[in-house]
Amino acid sequence: MNNRKILVTGADGFIGSHLTEALVRAGHNVRAFVLYNSFNSWGWLDNCSADVKDKFEVFAGDIRDPNGVRAALKGCDAVLHLAALIAIPYSYHSPDTYVDTNIKGTLNVVQAARDLSVDKVIHTSTSEVYGTARFVPITEDHPLQGQSPYSASKIGADQIAMSFYNSFETPVTIVRPFNTYGPRQSARAVIPTIITQIASGKRKIKLGAIHPTRDFSFVADTVAGFIAALKSDQCIGEVFNLGSNFEISIGDTARLIAEAMGASVEIETDDERLRPEKSEVERLWADTSKALRLTGWQPQFGGREGFRRGLAITADWFRDPVNLKVYKADAYNI
């Protein structure tokens, strides 16, 4: 894929901005698809690293618009499709927007990719499609369970993407990251929620359920997984997980973060942050052996020690006053 044009949808977001920077550094010709807005904001790309600034093309549009998606894909050899609505609480009261963005948006991407004969389509899934683990570690053969409107919409998006591979031989690969964390992540996620509360001086930390377990993947590992999928000739028509092969509870995660930040904290349960009982995903733990087999990828921040290193990097970024001021630590961000 060297020197070929790559479209990144959702390039203005958390993972998408890191991925855009990594692709530019690797010498790729990148077109960054960002959500059109009247402020002409490119999201996190407005503050991209100096070494990549002005070295990528920007296309402002809306993933829900088939004409705009088709225009963005013209002249591209591959697309990394990350654009999505991802906040689970918001999906409880606005599920229609998740169908439009996640399912119809994905349809727009694969339809345009088919019509334009794009060489590779890397579609982004999520560990939430598995729901509460029926067995661990979770392989790609685990049943899919829609325990929230968000996860249901991502299951639908995954099925739309793979249906184009099965029906039309569109060269689709599905990458399924587990809980990615790192600099720039939205405060609607649990790790930034904890870090921003501590960094703003709070010692009573408000959280939802703290007993569920997660497999947290540092953003550099997730980005490397996407690039490995892009380069591999073995993963077309395949789905594979990206995770750290390490399971930890939300409560223990909060304690590790407090330790990394040199703070003593008390956790308070905030009922507003609790998911409905049957919607809570109780356990996630990734089996990443398929990714290793197909692409050679494996996490560099795996296990407890890798998680500690990733948390330290993340906490340092959030503690920078320039970055912290972007977040509203006093507000619950759904």
Residues that are catalytic: 150
Residue count of the chain: 334
Task: List the Cα angle 117/233/230 in 5-degree steps.
Answer: 70
Phi, then psi, of 311 in degrees rounded to 5:
-65, -40
Q: Which of 137, 179, 162, 299 is nearest to 228 (CA)?
A: 299
CA dist., res. 35 & res. 42, Å (int): 7
Query: What region, left, alpha or beta, does residue 118 occupy, with left being phi > 0 and alpha being psi -120 to 50 degrees?
Result: beta
The DSSP 8-state label assigned to residue 138 in this structure reads B
CA 243, 246, 249, 251 dihedral sign is negative
Q: Which of 2, 34, 333, 42 is nearest to 185 (CA)?
A: 333
The DSSP 8-state label assigned to residue 101 in this structure reads I
Calculate Rg over the CA atoms of the chain. Answer: 19
